[in-house]
Structure 1
Amino acid sequence: MCETLPEELLHQIMAMCHFIDYEAFAHRSPEQLFAHRKETARLLLVCQRWRRVATPLKYEMAIVTSEAEASVLATILSRGRVGSYVKKLRIEGGFGRALRTILSKVPNLLYIFISLDISSEAKVAGLCAGLKLVNPQYLVLRDRRVLGNQTVRSVVDTLITCMKTLWTNVISYDHPYDEWVWLGQEFDNRQYCARTQRARDLARALVHIPKLQIVHVPRAYYTSEYDVVLKAVKNPSVQRIISWMPWQDGFIVPLDRYPRLRDIIYLPLPGPWLRPTYAAIGQGDPASLFPTTFGFCTQPHKLKRTWSDRWSGDRWY
């Protein structure tokens, strides 16, 4: 029966099998993506027709987790049109010169994920040079270990330059740092200074991205003076600030100074939902669900810490 299906229909069916949503792509761990890649690889083994249809879909999302993988992928993408298939690219560190080759061969790249878990011994010249060759729409950053070395700083500086001057297509930015999770914890002074500086520099860069529409943050209901939320709201093109974390215990957001936050801060609604569902904190009337779900205040106060193991261990760090 499969042999009689029109190729266009077969392509649509396989596209659904290969589809990866934003949450899976942006997750702190690539394990889900590895499992998905292994599962869909079986489609290539059915017959030559399936292999021809599925090959472009296979390369729509690429992951680089080592220098060896970077070298292999650079060779593959240099063959014919393969590089033009890549739309989502996830780079888990600095892996030598091959990253420049990879980034130079993906003209249709839409999503890019950069992990800042980069050791001081890593060679990032290829990554820094390659980042200047692409112009993605979606940027996802993650920084689990928060290493305080100059190697990471050079990558962050390159990202900020790209965000402010070179990447004219960026409409979505996913911030890696959560102000709340650092309160009350003891960290190495160098690590703390590096993390603070990176978080503030990246947040300041958001004001200069002309087409930026969506900013993802760990939690949008807690803000400090230099928080990414208060920088993003100053960009008139930003339409949504989406919180990964659901509301817990209250808000510390300066609604008096930034009333626009009511319309652009979006929080996950209580589930269960088949897919995550969000709503702005200013939506609804007093009889609706939102005021009872999203309580907030304009004056800082001490909140009960409810950062769960599921989120701290599974989502971010």
Structure 2
Amino acid sequence: MLYHNIFRNLPEEIIHEVLSQTLSIPDEDFCSALSKSPFAKVTFNDTPSRAILEVCKQWHRIGTPLLYETVVFRSKAQIQALWWTLAHRPELCKYVKKLRVERWYSVVADVLKLTPNVTDVWMNLKLYSSDIGKGLAKALLLIDPKRIILKDECLKSRARRMFIDALMYQVEKLVKTFPSCQHLRHLHFNNLPEPSFEFLEVLSNHKSLVSIWLRDQAQKQALIKTMEAKHPDVAKKLEAPNER
């Protein structure tokens, strides 16, 4: 009765704003490249997220898209659970917009097949085998994101090298094959070791790319010096955090 008296006549816009405070993940947490993930120790309010959706049909309808908008993968069990949910409730697939993959498993590709509306992807390049690198690059072909954020821990591993090579190949293939269908506008590098320079050269033909975000000013200046002679268009798109 108390709920009906207080919330019955509230506009849905206000209810959406109230629910988003609990159900939505801040973009700064989604983009974070701190050594300790913001999601390493998840805390919950007194009322769990799913319990909020049970308050009434209106809250369930408004809150469900907020709950599934941002997905964070930290374990294989989490990925498998989401895949099972989406496979059995396909009406939820359209709500997934942001995907943060802190550790890669092959089942991620199965999730991407079900979530064509993903616009933002965060990926950790800490890889453990060349097959994982190849699989991750191929999985990117299943979506058409506007923003890709790469956390590079500067590991000098063969798996990482394989991933960079495969990712460069896939982006180059997409740019050449579908030049008018590319939606990638923002690319974030939290660290920028030498192999990534080659990847940026591939992006010289990517017409839709608006910005390449770098972690610090020193990285930006070094990259501009390298890129401006051959690819001035790419150099103009470089950003550092203090310029945003």
TM-score (norm 1): 0.61
- Cα 1:28/1:40, change in 2 over 3 Å: farther
- Find the counterpart in structure 1 of residue 200 from structure 2: 203
User: Partners of 1:175 and 1:199 in 2: how far apart?
Assistant: 9
Contact 2:96 2:115 in 1 (8 A): yes
- Find the counterpart in structure 2 of residue 147 from structure 1: 155
Matched, 1:3 2:1: no
C-alpha displacement of 1:10: 1.6
C-alpha displacement of 1:216: 0.7
Contact 1:88 1:110 in 2 (8 A): yes
Contact 2:130 2:158 in 1 (8 A): no
C-alpha displacement of 1:114: 1.0
C-alpha displacement of 1:240: 4.8
User: Partners of 1:101 and 1:88 in 2: how far apart?
Assistant: 16
User: Partners of 1:43 and 1:175 in 2: how far apart?
Assistant: 32
C-alpha displacement of 1:71: 1.6
Matched, 1:84 2:94: yes
C-alpha displacement of 1:205: 2.4
C-alpha displacement of 1:118: 1.3
Alpha-carbon displacement from aligned partner over 1:209-254 (angstroms, at most 9, x marks no partner): 2111111102235533xx267537935387653213x5xxxxxxxx
- Find the counterpart in structure 2 of residue 275 from structure 1: none
Mapping of residues 229-240 of structure 1, within 5 Å: 230-231=226-227, 234=231, 236=233, 240=237
Alpha-carbon displacement from aligned partner over 1:73-95 (angstroms, at most 9, x marks no partner): 22122222212111110111321
What are the ranges of 5 or more consecutive residues in structure 1 without an aligned counterpart?
179-194, 247-265, 267-277, 279-317
- Find the counterpart in structure 1 of residue 32 from structure 2: 27
- Find the counterpart in structure 2 of residue 120 from structure 1: 129
Contact 2:99 2:118 in 1 (8 A): yes
Give 1:71's aligned amino acid: Q
Correspondent of 2:188 among 174, 177, 182: 174
- Cα 1:209/1:36, change in 2 over 3 Å: farther
Worse-superposed segment, 11-20 or 74-83:
11-20
Alpha-carbon displacement from aligned partner over 1:282-301 (angstroms, at most 9, x marks no partner): xxxxxxxxxxxxxxxxxxxx
What are the ranges of 5 or more consecutive residues in structure 2 without an aligned counterpart?
1-5, 176-181
Contact 2:33 2:190 in 1 (8 A): no
User: Partners of 1:65 and 1:75 in 2: how far apart?
Assistant: 16
Give the match's secondary structure for 2:184. coil
Matched, 1:66 2:75: yes
- Find the counterpart in structure 2 of residue 313 from structure 1: none
- Cα 1:34/1:87, change in 2 over 3 Å: farther
Give 2:147's aligned amino acid: Y
Mapping of residues 11-22 of structure 1, within 5 Å: 11-15=16-20, 17-22=22-27
User: Partners of 2:63 and 2:14 in 1: how far apart?
Assistant: 12
- Find the counterpart in structure 1 of residue 115 from structure 2: 106
Matched, 1:160 2:168: yes
User: Partners of 2:215 and 2:185 in 1: how far apart?
Assistant: 18
Correspondent of 2:103 among 93, 96, 99: 93
- Find the counterpart in structure 2 of residue 261 from structure 1: none
- Find the counterpart in structure 2 of residue 183 from structure 1: none
Contact 1:41 1:58 in 2 (8 A): no
User: Partners of 2:29 and 2:228 in 1: how far apart?
Assistant: 24
Worse-superposed segment, 63-72 or 85-94:
63-72
C-alpha displacement of 1:19: 4.5
- Cα 1:162/1:18, change in 2 over 3 Å: farther
C-alpha displacement of 1:203: 2.5
**Between structures 1 and 2, the one with greater helix share:** 2
User: Partners of 2:224 and 2:164 in 1: how far apart?
Assistant: 16
User: Partners of 1:40 and 1:110 in 2: how far apart?
Assistant: 31
Q: Give the structure with higher Rg (CA).
A: 1
User: Partners of 1:106 and 1:72 in 2: how far apart?
Assistant: 15
TM-score (norm 2): 0.77
Aligned residues: 226
Contact 1:77 1:105 in 2 (8 A): yes
Give the match's secondary structure for 1:154. helix
Identical-pair percentage: 20
